[in-house]
Amino acid sequence: MSAEPTAPAATNATPLRIGTRRSALATTQSGHVADAITAATGVATELVEITTDGDRSQAAGTPLAGAASTGVFVSALREALLAGDIDVAVHSLKDLPTYPAAGLVLAAVPVREDSRDVVVARDGLTLGELPPGSRVGTGSPRRVAQIHALGLGLELVGLRGNVDTRIGRVRSGELDAVVLARAGLARLGRLEEATEVLDPLQVLPAPGQGALAVECRADDAATHEVLRHLDHPDTRAAVAAERATLARLEGGCSAPIGALCDLVEGEEGPELWLRAVALSNDGSLSVRRAASNALPVGAAQWEQIGARLGTELAEEMLAAGAGDLDEPPDPGPGPIPPADDPANPSSHPSARSAEVHTP
């Protein structure tokens, strides 16, 4: 953690109630947060399991994609927090909507796990080793678009469910591979099941992937002070840049989006290096950009600098056509009318050509 922990306080008689989804991954993540709270402050904790709309739709096998999916794993936890049923909510940060929630504060972003995607494939294969036509499972339009863009001839199959369910479809032979977040396997102690870690040059992760978001009520100063010990300024600044990119692009397009920001050592000190991509759903078109920004000594302004960097990069991407990647295709020219025919658009002064963006 970024802050030096103070001497542990006496354990509270009433434990801090930490809300979590019921899945094995969610309870593991929340358990890590609970352990970190107690180690840093001596405050006792207990986990409170809550079922979200995302869990219910996942159990039903309902596809999850598009704007309607935003926050489906988050809303029930936030409602419980605002109602006072829990004191803290722990989310996978990539599930968190980019707009603020009234009455709540993002009190801590703990140090991030590796944000990359991984492949779990039959026979220990990598994506590149799978024969064309192999069936690869993922529920993420971002992964689908970027894997299509690799030109490997793979069949992408919609997939939901917990880690066991997804990997089980490979073990059963129903699928040849699945693509998952590395962080989830690492937290579950199952990283050895990955057959390949995907290079971000091939597949950029989701904004915020690998990071956790720890929320409390905005008026709960005591809990906020406890959670302050878990906050990691490097991670908070990086995910602020990624989420600002996503927020601005969401306002101008509905394309699959990947983003990754790293804090690196530049010539004059630390700096943020941000990469992002927006793609058409089939991966045939894309807009990719990168940008960096130096950071001042001390972390007080890093989050704001990251957010500004992300917004500026997204504006550049929109200017380059990121909002037009899935526009209906031009049907092409029909019969060419005579040059003096008023229906001939090429003779009109306003005639213009379209710009095409390719990977």
Q: Which of 87, 95, 220, 324 is catalytic?
A: 95
Looking only at the bridges linking them, the beta strands covering 135-137 and 177-181 are parallel
Residue 117 annotated in active site: no
Give the whole-angstrom CA distance, residue 109 versus residue 283.
32
CA atoms within 13 A on the CB side of 60: 9
Runs of H (alpha helix) within 114-232: 141-149, 163-171, 182-187, 221-227
CB 277, CB 204: distance < 8 Å: yes
Q: Phi/psi at 42 (nearest 5 deg)?
A: 80, 0
Closest of 275, 260, 273, 255 to residue 149, by C-alpha: 255
CA distances from 212 to 29, 307, 326 (A): 8, 18, 31
Give the whole-angstrom CA distance, residue 340 versus residue 275.
49
Catalytic residues: 95
